[in-house]
Amino acid sequence: MVDSITLGESLRRQGVSRRGFMKFCAATASMMALPPSMVPAIAASLEKARRPSVIWLSFQECTGCTESLTRSHAPTVEGLIFDFISLDYHHTLQAAAGDQAEAAREAAMHENAGKYIVVVDGSIPGPNSNPGYSTIAGISNYDTLMETVKGAAAVVAVGTCAAFGGLPKADPNPTGAVAIQSVVKDKPVVNVPGCPPIPTVITGVLAHFLTFGKLPELDHLGRPVAFYGQSIHDRCYRRPFYDKGLFAETFDDEGARKGWCLYRLGCKGPMTYNACATAKWNLGTSWPVESGHGCLGCSEPNFWDAGGFYQALSIPTSNVTRTAAAAVAAGAAIGIAAGIANKVKKSGAKAKHQTVTVDQLGEG
Amino acid sequence: MSALDQIAIRVETEDRFARNALPVLHEVRHALRRLVEAGESTTIDLYSMPFGPGDEEDLLAGLGTGEVAAQLAALGESRITETIYPGVWIVDHYNTHGQRIAFQIEVTPVPSVLVAHADDMADGLQRLEAALAEPAEPESWPASNELRSQHG
ipTM of the complex: 0.74
On the question of pLDDT at A2 being above 70, the answer is no
Are A261 and A241 a contacting pair, CB within 8 Å? yes
pTM higher than 0.80, yes or no? Answer: no
Residues in chain A within 8 Å Cβ distance of B112: 22
CA distances from A12 to A5, A53, A174, A294, B127 (A): 11, 21, 52, 44, 17
Closest-approach residue (CA) in chain A for B118: A18
Tell me which residue range forms the domain holding A299.
232-360
Residues in chain B within 8 Å Cβ distance of A284: 47, 100
Nearest Cα neighbor of A206 from A18, A49, A36, A43 is A49
Q: Are residues A190 and A292 in the same domain?
A: no
Q: Are residues B41 and B110 in the same domain?
A: yes
Q: Are residues A79 and A175 in the same domain?
A: yes
On the question of pLDDT at B123 being above 90, the answer is no
Count of all residues that appear for chain A in the document: 364
Q: Are residues B104 and B125 in the same domain?
A: no
Are B87 and B32 a contacting pair, CB within 8 Å? yes
Q: In whole angstroms, what is the distance from residue A256 CA to residue A264 CA?
A: 11
Q: In whole angstroms, what is the distance from residue A81 CA to residue B102 CA?
A: 15
B28 touches chain A (CB under 8 A): yes
B39 touches chain A (CB under 8 A): no
Give chain A's mean pLDDT: 81
- Model pLDDT for residues A267-292, shown as the tens digit of each residue: 999 999 999 998 888 877 889 999 99
On the question of pLDDT at B10 being above 80, the answer is no
Q: Do B45 and A77 touch (CB under 8 A)?
A: no
Specify the amino acid at residue B95: N
On the question of pLDDT at A77 being above 60, the answer is no
Q: Are residues B80 and B131 in the same domain?
A: no
Residue A187 inside a domain? The answer is yes
**Of A16 and A285, the one with more pLDDT:** A285
Average pLDDT over residues A217-221: 96
Q: What is the DSSP string of A285-351?
A: TB-TTTTT-----TTSTTGGGSS-TTSPPSS-SS-HHHHHHHHHHHTS-HHHHTTSS-HHHHHHHHH
Cβ neighbours around A332 below 10 Å, total: 25
* pLDDT for residue A299: 97
Residue that terminates a domain, selected from A197, A228, A259: A228
On the question of pLDDT at A343 being above 70, the answer is no
Q: In whole angstroms, what is the distance from residue A156 CA to residue B2 CA?
A: 32
Q: In whole angstroms, what is the distance from residue B72 CA to residue B63 CA?
A: 21
* pLDDT for residue A360: 54
3 state SS of A357 = coil
Q: Which residues contact B136 (CB under 8 A, 6 or more apart)?
A: none
Are A183 and A124 a contacting pair, CB within 8 Å? yes
Give chain B's mean pLDDT: 83
Residues in chain B within 8 Å Cβ distance of A278: 47-50
Cβ neighbours around A109 below 10 Å, total: 22
Q: Which of A238, A258, A341 sits opposite B27 (nearest CB)?
A: A341
On the question of pLDDT at A13 being above 60, the answer is yes
Q: Are residues A153 and A92 in the same domain?
A: yes
Q: Do B93 and A235 touch (CB under 8 A)?
A: no
On the question of pLDDT at A93 being above 50, the answer is yes
Q: Are residues B87 and B141 in the same domain?
A: no
B127 touches chain A (CB under 8 A): no
CA atoms within 13 A on the CB side of B98: 4
Q: Which of A18, A37, A333 sits opposite B20 (nearest CB)?
A: A333
* pLDDT for residue A319: 42
Lowest-pLDDT choice from A80-94, A154-168, A189-203, B84-98: A80-94
- Model pLDDT for residues A296-318, shown as the tens digit of each residue: 999 999 999 988 899 998 754 44
Q: In angstroms, how far is CA A320 from the centroid of its own chain?
A: 30
Residue that terminates a domain, selected from A176, A211, A228: A228
Residues in chain A within 8 Å Cβ distance of B119: 18
In chain B, the DSSP E strands lie at 42-45, 69-73, 77-82, 88-94, 100-107
pLDDT-based confidence at residue B138 (cuts at 50, 70, 90): low
Q: Are residues A64 and A137 in the same domain?
A: yes
Number of domains in chain B: 2
Q: Are residues B46 and B86 in the same domain?
A: yes
* pLDDT for residue A61: 94
β pairing state of A177-178 and A86-90 = unpaired
Residues in chain B within 8 Å Cβ distance of A237: 19-20, 50-52, 55
In chain A, the DSSP E strands lie at 53-58, 86-90, 117-121, 124-125, 135-136, 139-140, 154-158, 177-178, 189-192
Residues in chain A within 8 Å Cβ distance of B24: 336, 340, 361
On the question of pLDDT at B35 being above 80, the answer is yes
Share of chain A above pLDDT 70, in %: 81
Q: Which of B48, B50, B99 sits opposite A33 (nearest CB)?
A: B48
Nearest Cα neighbor of B111 from B72, B76, B137, B74 is B72
Q: In whole angstroms, what is the distance from residue A338 CA to residue A320 CA?
A: 17
**Of A102 and B143, the one with more pLDDT:** A102
A155 beta partners: A118, A189
β pairing state of A124-125 and A139-140 = unpaired
pLDDT-based confidence at residue B139 (cuts at 50, 70, 90): low
Q: Are residues B56 and B102 in the same domain?
A: yes
What's the CATH number where A202 sits?
3.40.50.700
Share of chain B above pLDDT 70, in %: 77
B104 beta partners: B45, B91
Q: Do B93 and A237 touch (CB under 8 A)?
A: no
pLDDT-based confidence at residue B2 (cuts at 50, 70, 90): low
On the question of pLDDT at A40 being above 70, the answer is yes
Residues in chain A within 8 Å Cβ distance of B49: 278, 336, 339-340
* pLDDT for residue B85: 98
Q: Are residues B135 and B94 in the same domain?
A: no
pLDDT-based confidence at residue A82 (cuts at 50, 70, 90): low
Please tell me the distance in Å from A246's CA to the nearest CA on chain B.
14
Q: What is the DSSP string of A101-134?
A: HHHHHHHHHHHTTTT-EEEEESBEE-TTS-GGGS
In B5-99, the DSSP E strands lie at 42-45, 69-73, 77-82, 88-94
Count of all residues that appear for chain B in the document: 152
Average pLDDT over residues A228-246: 92
Q: Are residues B21 and B81 in the same domain?
A: yes
**Of A91 and A121, the one with more pLDDT:** A121
Q: In whole angstroms, what is the distance from residue A352 CA to residue B47 CA?
A: 27
Please tell me the distance in Å from B137's CA to the nearest CA on chain A.
27
Number of domains in chain A: 2
What's the CATH number where B74 sits?
3.30.1370.140
On the question of pLDDT at B147 being above 60, the answer is no
Q: Are residues B88 and B139 in the same domain?
A: no
Q: How many CB pairs under 8 A join A and B?
A: 143
Nearest Cα neighbor of A309 from A268, A264, A255, A262 is A268
Closest-approach residue (CA) in chain A for B6: A285
* pLDDT for residue A41: 86
Specify the amino acid at residue B150: Q
Are A235 and A277 a contacting pair, CB within 8 Å? yes
A198: alpha, beta or left, given left = phi > 0 and alpha = psi -120 to 50?
Answer: beta
Q: Are residues A135 and A149 in the same domain?
A: yes
On the question of pLDDT at A168 being above 80, the answer is yes
Q: Which of B4, B49, B102 sits opposite A285 (nearest CB)?
A: B4
pLDDT-based confidence at residue B142 (cuts at 50, 70, 90): low
Q: Do B4 and A341 touch (CB under 8 A)?
A: no
Q: Are residues A290 and A223 in the same domain?
A: no
Specify the amino acid at residue A137: A
Q: Which of B12, B100, B104 sits opposite A284 (nearest CB)?
A: B100
Residue A14 inside a domain? The answer is no
**Of A337 and A72, the one with more pLDDT:** A72
Q: Are residues A292 and A356 in the same domain?
A: yes
Tell me which residue range forms the domain holding B147.
118-151
* pLDDT for residue A42: 85
Cβ neighbours around A323 below 10 Å, total: 20
Rounded to 10 deg, the angle between the A77-84 and A199-212 helix axes is: 50
What strand order describes the sheet that includes B88-94?
A: B42-45, B100-107, B88-94, B77-82, B69-73
On the question of pLDDT at A356 being above 60, the answer is no
